[in-house]
Chain A
Amino acid sequence: MSAATPSGEFEHPDVVICPGGPVLLRGEHVVADEQGRTHRTTRPVTAVCRCGKSATQPWCDGTHKVLPPRSRP
């Protein structure tokens, strides 16, 4: 999302690490969870849990926001 000239190139990474939150994956991926079970992404962008507390592993469900700041990824 860098400022670009009218014809410039924009940054558009496939993997985005959100400070204190999930990692975003753009496109189709197969993610293995901590037990080694695989899960296929189903939407254009997917949020993968990084705090370990999501109830819908391996996906983010927003739980990181109720953790004390020190416990956030």
Chain B
Amino acid sequence: MLTPKARGALSEAVLEAMRVRPADMTPACATPAESRDDEQVTLWALYELHHRGFDDVDDELEWDPDLLALRRRLERTFEARLRERWSPPAELPGPGSFAEAFFAFVEGHDGASLAAHVHRDADTEQVLELFRLRSVYHLKESDPTAWLVPRLGVGAKAALMELQYDEYGTGDPNRLHAHLFARGLEACGLSPEYGAYLNDVPVEVLEQNNAMSLFGLHRRLRGAALGHLAAFEATSSLPSRRMAQGLARLGLAREMVDYYDEHVAADAVHEQLAVRTVCGSLLVAEPALVGDVFFGAFSCLDLEDRVARHLLAQWAA
């Protein structure tokens, strides 16, 4: 993958510096962000250095101190924004009532649903656009969560691996979820190449992806990362069925219907594991993280809501 298109002065300067590697990176990194788009695409590119990198950037820059300092500056702004959007409930559940309280919290979040639109109303062009946007995450599905593994105690670590093992195809590359999505993209006539559609995605999708990298890369935010995972899994099974039915209605490729069918079954399991055993084990060992678990869950639901509202408004226009 090549570096994405700049979206303002900061990304222009930083992406250029990443490509040419000037003797002094400081001036590029000190450029103020022009917009949220500019800030988020820069942060996305900085995170990508820790995922798969870019063909036009030296791998050495993953640990460049100037880029790390810039990443930290952007992350502080971004995390503060995510926390501002969140109003913690007056009372948080103890370990004994966590699972039921968590499921009730997720069910009580009344967000816009892209799956409902795809199920009944979307046309093929809209669904293909949705796949392009989803590809930014689905082609690295579960990867930000994998960063959590060394940061957890025995119970939560084993629980997370039980779930992740399934996400990664139980050792069979043909069953790896990100690969199933790549096959679905190709069968729909879209590019299965990692990062191919980054330049097409709105800032809401960048924020959604950056939040997962933010939570995954900071040990301090392990509670938020696992809360995000649990909310993601708990809002996947039923919407995946609606997606599969919508794609069948439009006669879209069997491979993509299979991807969503796989998520109906897998995530009916994963939501139970993520809430009860992964977050449950984490909170038995570290009960003080319960607030962050709910913060991460809210962020997951809220960021998806923003993506959905953006797309539904665009399609209604």
Contacts and interface: CB of A to CB of B under 8 A. Distances in A.
B177 to A, nearest CB: 12
B170 interface: yes
B265 A61 contact: yes
A26 to B, nearest CB: 8
Interface stretch (B53-61, B200-208, B273-281): B273-281
Interface string A45-57: 1110000000110
Contacts of B188: none
Contacts of B284: 1-3
Interface string A34-66: 000000000111110000000110011111011
Contacts of A43: 166, 170, 265-266, 269
B272 A21 contact: yes
Given A10-B154, A61-B237, A45 B265 contact: no
A43 B238 CA distance: 19
Given A3-B285, A59-B265, A44 B238 contact: no
Contact of A61 (B154, B268, B273, B285): B268
B149 interface: no
A1 B154 CA distance: 10
B4 to A, nearest CB: 35
Contacts, number: 74
Interface residues of B, number: 30
Interface residue tally of chain A, by bracket?
20 to 34
A47 B155 CA distance: 21
Nearest to A26: B162
Contacts of B253: none
Nearest to B237: A62
A19 B154 contact: no
Q: Chain B interface mostly helix, strand, loop or mixed?
A: helix
B241 A18 contact: no
B105 interface: no
A46 B159 CA distance: 14
A21 B170 CA distance: 24
Contacts of A2: 284
Contact of B272 (A12, A24, A61): A24
Contacts of B166: 43-45
A22 B155 contact: no
A39 to B, nearest CB: 11
A8 to B, nearest CB: 9
Given A44-B166, A66-B238, 15 more contacts: A2-B284, A3-B284, A4-B154, A10-B158, A21-B272, A43-B166, A43-B170, A43-B265, A43-B269, A47-B269, A59-B265, A61-B265, A62-B264, A65-B107, A65-B238
Interface of A: 1-4, 10, 12, 16, 18-22, 24, 43-47, 55-56, 59-63, 65-66
8 contacts: A1-B280, A10-B158, A18-B276, A43-B170, A47-B268, A59-B268, A60-B269, A62-B237
